[in-house]
Amino acid sequence: NAGVTQTPKFQVLKTGQSMTLQCAQDMNHNSMYWYRQDPGMGLRLIYYSASEGTTDKGEVPNGYNVSRLNKREFSLRLESAAPSQTSVYFCASSDHRGATEQYFGPGTRLTVT
């Protein structure tokens, strides 16, 4: 079991460029989440998917879009990157809706110049 995997591990973008962060889990979990973590701060929810076919906004959704491609995969897209989106992005998954352990991926460190 690989658990939750994310690609890429590191990325540098110029302002205005677009990119997609990929996330996959092999634990047959229903729910998946995208968080951002800024230096010295906690985890802020960007979007989540309670089950395959559904997505909902979290605390900081502006500038992002998501796709729950199937039960395993949940991608995060930045259409026009801005320096304020420089952060570490974590994907997570859980078996039930928020009431059980969330398993995190290794993170993607994104820098927007």
Partner 1 sequence: GENVEQHPSTLSVQEGDSAVIKCTYSDSASNYFPWYKQELGKRPQLIIDIRSNVGEKKDQRIAVTLNKTAKHFSLHITETQPEDSAVYFCAFKAAGNKLTFGGGTRVLVKP
Binding footprint of partner 1 on the chain (CB under 8 A): 31, 33, 40-45, 48, 50, 56, 58-59, 90, 97-99, 101-102, 104-107
What is the C-alpha R_g of the chain? 13
Torsion angle defined by CA atoms of residues 62, 6, 24 and 69, in that order, rounded to the nearest 10 degrees? 40
User: Least distance from C-beta 97 to partner 1, angstroms?
Assistant: 3
Quick one: 74 or 90, whose CB is closer to partner 1? 90
CB closer to partner 1, 14 vs 28 = 28
Residues whose CB is less than 8 angstroms from the CB of residue 71 and which lie 6 or more positions away in sequence, other chains included:
28, 29, 30, 52
Report, in Å, the least distance between residue 33 CB and partner 1: 7
Residue 40 zone, left/alpha/beta (φ > 0; ψ -120 to 50; rest): left
Q: Judged by CB, which is closer to partner 1: 2, or 41?
A: 41
Nearest distance in Å: CB 15, partner 1: 26
Nearer to partner 1, 7 or 80 (CB): 7
- Cα–Cα distances (Å) from 12 to 29, 50, 81, in that order, read 30, 30, 10
